[in-house]
Amino acid sequence: MPLRISPKSLRGGLIAGVLWVLALWAVGMRPTLRLDELFATFAHLTGLLAGYGALGMFFLMARVPALEHGVGADRLARWHAWSGRWVLLLCLGHALLALCGSAARHRNDLLTSALQMLSRTQLALATIGLVLLCAAGAVSARFIRGRIPHETWRAVHLLTYLGAALGVAHQMTGPDLAGNICAFWLWALLHAAVVVLLVRYRLVVPVRQALKHNLRVVEVRAEGPDVFSVVMEGDGLDELRAEAGQFFRWRFLQRRVWHSALPFSLSAPVRDNRLRITVKAVGNHTRRIRRLKPGTRVLATGPFGAMTAHRRKRRKVLLLAGGVGITPMRALFEALPGGPGDITLLYRAGSEEQLVLREELEAIAAFRQAGLHYLLGPSDASFNPLAPQTLRSLVPDLARRDVYLCGPHGMTVAAVAALVQAGVPQKRIHTESFAL
């Protein structure tokens, strides 16, 4: 069984790091009532916290398997986004406090002090780093990110690496670290460790897996309106130890799609050295994937995700899927252990035409003697197929089951609320949602 770091352990470790940063600042702080010194003192504190926060951001997104399997990629993504907002605020606070401290010390106005500070190369580079971080933060804001192509967001988001590097260079020469040899080397080792993790799991591992497993596209076939499956074949795929409910990040080495790696869940268990994903065409990148040619090389990083049989606590399980969220549920529907009646799948869709993989689901249900119900109808209809009483009528022992849930964000939120009202404890509702 792969190593898993629990959310509680990760949270505890990150908080311990914050306490260490506060202790480092407190040791170097000199009590004073001078205005310029007070500004400088709190500029040091915000700078240290911003540096530590940036380090944590990159660590969360380093795709370390122990974190991805134990914490879950969705929670890691949300923590990453949350910490990013605080890092930006701390960086801006650090810059403003440092500017005010300089103005108070030299009795200048803010504009004159800003020009004087920018005349120093080190501070000018740190300011460029701050601007790059702000740009990445701006395109990651929800109301902007939904209006720009994913490729544009990704290109700007990559600037955080350069922005953080400029910030680290500024920090390593600052008074809080340069004057404390132990803190300096510990800070340097922490950053080096995160860089090693990033290079290993975001670059080395995908390339090594590609060379080892020789993964290639075998077939692309239609499954429904704007939905298609990509079947890939490789060597020794059982060594990946991929579980139903997990996903990979896929990079298809074909013109116009090679530059992006997007997460898609397995829509069937690994079998006969084949992997399959089922994708809904919702943007330029996914529409281009539909035109992949057989023989296209594939870089697959993973498996990731914690919505697997490992989370199961009860013998009976309800799988609840909405839209293309059926893909991981279809794999779990086939692979989760259980006898007749132990596994039930509820599939929410707007109409029968929108049902994906229907023949496979019905064949699995018949073979396993499992429950299968379609919840059809428009989302704005007066009848709510996800109402607590509806769920209880379809699954009378619902409150005694584990529930695995995957679907669009709005449907997921509504379903979780309905399940809780129907008597399912929150801790037995297993879902991964990447809405930030």
pLDDT digits (tens, 9 = 90+) for 420-431: 998 999 889 998
**pLDDT value of position 436:** 44
What does the pLDDT look like over 306-342, one tens digit per residue? 788 888 889 999 999 988 889 999 999 999 998 998 9
214-304 CATH choice from 1.20.58.760, 2.40.30.10, 3.90.1150.10, 3.40.1110.10: 2.40.30.10
Q: How confident is the model at residue 433 (pLDDT cuts 50, 70, 90)?
A: low
Most confident of 31-35, 158-162, 381-385: 158-162
What does the pLDDT look like over 338-355, one tens digit per residue? 899 899 999 998 888 888
- The proportion of the chain whose per-residue pLDDT surpasses 70, expressed as a percent, equals 96
- The CATH class that applies to domain 309-431 reads alpha beta
What does the pLDDT look like over 161-181, one tens digit per residue? 888 888 888 888 777 676 678
Integer CA distances (angstroms), 196 to 30, 172, 173, 204, 304, in order? 36, 19, 22, 10, 19
What does the pLDDT look like over 134-154, one tens digit per residue? 888 888 877 787 677 766 777
Alpha helices in 107-180 (DSSP H): 110-118, 121-140, 142-145, 150-157, 159-172, 175-178
Which residue has better confidence, 260 or 11?
11
Domain ranges of the chain: 7-179, 214-304, 309-431
- Tokens representing residue 58 in the block: 């990159």
